[in-house]
Amino acid sequence: MGIKLQPKYCACGCGGFCKGKWIPGHDQRLRAAIENEVGGLVELRRIVEERLHRSIEFDQTDTRKHWYSN
Ligand SMILES: [Zn+2]
């Protein structure tokens, strides 16, 4: 009856077991596969925003600072 971590199926669907949500590297593998399927991260963003009916918000402060500092 201990609180033991049960091995779980990897979230990517490969059928492998892992302690966390992913077998190390499989989250990146899935992300790359999704990006490849839809035609890139920009296209993926467009699809998700279409589905959400809103823009995906994220912190662009550092980027702006970087691009416009010189
Ligand atoms: Zn996996």
The pLDDT assigned to 3 comes to 60
Task: Determine the distance separating the centroid of ligand 1 and the alpha carbon of 22, expressed in angstroms.
Answer: 6
CA distance 45 to 35: 10
The pLDDT assigned to 60 comes to 81
| Pairing label, strands 17-18, 8-9 | antiparallel
The pLDDT assigned to 1 comes to 52
The pLDDT assigned to 68 comes to 59
CA distance 12 to 22: 7
CA distance 13 to 50: 25
The pLDDT assigned to 61 comes to 81
CA distance 38 to 46: 10
Amino acid identity at 33: A
Q: Where are the domains of the chain?
A: 22-56
Below-50 pLDDT ranges, the chain: none
The pLDDT assigned to 6 comes to 76
Task: Determine the distance separating the centroid of ligand 1 and the alpha carbon of 31, expressed in angstroms.
Answer: 11
Task: Determine the distance separating the centroid of ligand 1 and the alpha carbon of 62, expressed in angstroms.
Answer: 33
pLDDT digits (tens, 9 = 90+) for 46-61: 999 999 999 999 888 8
